[in-house]
Amino acid sequence: MGIGAVAAMRYVKDGIKAAKLVMDHTEHTLLVGEKATSFAISMGLAGPADLSSPESIEKWTIWRQNHCQPNFWKNVVPAGSCGPYHPIDVPSGESKASAKHVLEWTQGDICQGLFEPNNLLEPVNPHLKSINRHNHDTISMAVIDKMGHVAVGTSTNGATFKIPGRVGDGPIPGSSAYADDEVGACGATGDGDIMMRFLPCYQVVESMRRGMEPRDAALDAILRIARKYPDFVGAVFAINKKGVHAGACHGWTFQYSVRNSSMQDVEVITVAH
């Protein structure tokens, strides 16, 4: 049950190395923010460094020119700009018209189209807030060594255009990764803001502990999320201590890769929704 994690850590490239330093050299589970950066640099990792690339700067510039759309804000004004934002209470049905008037007065025509039946102050465009395969970059990996020890790790930059300070499922124990030598391991990727509410990898490992095969355990975890959030995008892989593996996904076609000592090359497994 050894664990280490960092979150919201800026200016240090090797987040996964910093997480292992937390595991190996502290009694803590999770370090965050600027103090996580200071810890990583003090332990020998390179930094502070500018982690921007020409591609990321170009993407950010285009986003700013598009009035910071899409983004992850909701129930705020002004909804169609780069802020600063202010909260607006979701009104009751009888005051819906007045709320619409307030928003239109604040933003002019920018709010037209945001109001749909039963969808007050929620974006019409479902991609405005969602995390999908085009805007995040999670990598999760599990390893079983020759002694039977199981390890798993996850690294991610998070969601593109996230609100500063946002922490996703990557560093949350049991959400994007979980492992137990007695059972096996799980890794996850997708809409971490949704998935972390369910701790899917903890569930997968515990399901395997109770006798479920990896495929059934992975599918059960995904379906539990889908019942509550039918539009979410995500996937998990599961591997038991014998090396039997499987994956399950929702909202996309997911691929994971496998290699063991008897294989000449990596095998890529495709899992269809």
Please report the pLDDT score of residue 42 as a whole number.
98
> What's the Rg (C-alpha) of the chain?
21
**Could you tell me which of 56, 75, 54 has the C-alpha nearest to residue 64?**
56
With a cut of 70, say whether residue 123 has pLDDT above it. no
Does 156 qualify as catalytic in the annotation? no
Q: Is 168 annotated as a binding residue?
A: yes
Q: What is each CA distance from 124 to 24, 193, 253, 260, in whole angstroms?
A: 47, 20, 25, 46
Geometric angle at alpha carbon 158, from 155 and 162, rounded to 5°: 170
Mean pLDDT computed over every residue of the chain: 85
Kind and range of the H or E run holding 239: strand 234-240
The span from the CA of 211 to the CA of 31, in Å, is 34
> Reduced to 3 DSSP states, what percent helix, strand and coil does the chain have, rounded to the nearest 5?
30, 20, 50
Please report the pLDDT score of residue 126 as a whole number.
40
The span from the CA of 252 to the CA of 255, in Å, is 10
Q: Is 192 annotated as a binding residue?
A: yes
Q: What is the pLDDT of residues 39-98, one digit of tens each?
A: 999 999 999 999 999 999 999 999 999 999 999 999 999 988 999 999 987 554 443 444
Q: What is each CA distance from 210 to 20, 88, 206, 213, 246, in whole angstroms?
A: 29, 46, 6, 9, 17
Q: Is 189 annotated as a binding residue?
A: yes
Q: Is 169 annotated as a binding residue?
A: yes
Please report the pLDDT score of residue 135 as a whole number.
53
Q: Is 167 annotated as a binding residue?
A: yes
Q: What is each CA distance from 76 to 72, 157, 250, in whole angstroms?
A: 11, 26, 30
Show the domains of the chain with their CATH numbers: 1-70 (no CATH), 138-271 (3.60.20.30)
The span from the CA of 194 to the CA of 203, in Å, is 15
Task: Give me the mean pLDDT over the 224-244 stretch.
Answer: 96
Q: What is the pLDDT of residues 130-150, one digit of tens each?
A: 555 555 578 999 999 999 999
Task: Give me the mean pLDDT over the 31-36 stretch.
Answer: 97
With a cut of 80, say whether residue 261 has pLDDT above it. yes
Catalytic residue, from 37, 138, 154, 160: name it: 138
Q: Give the predicted TM-score (pTM) of the model.
A: 0.81
Q: Is 191 annotated as a binding residue?
A: yes
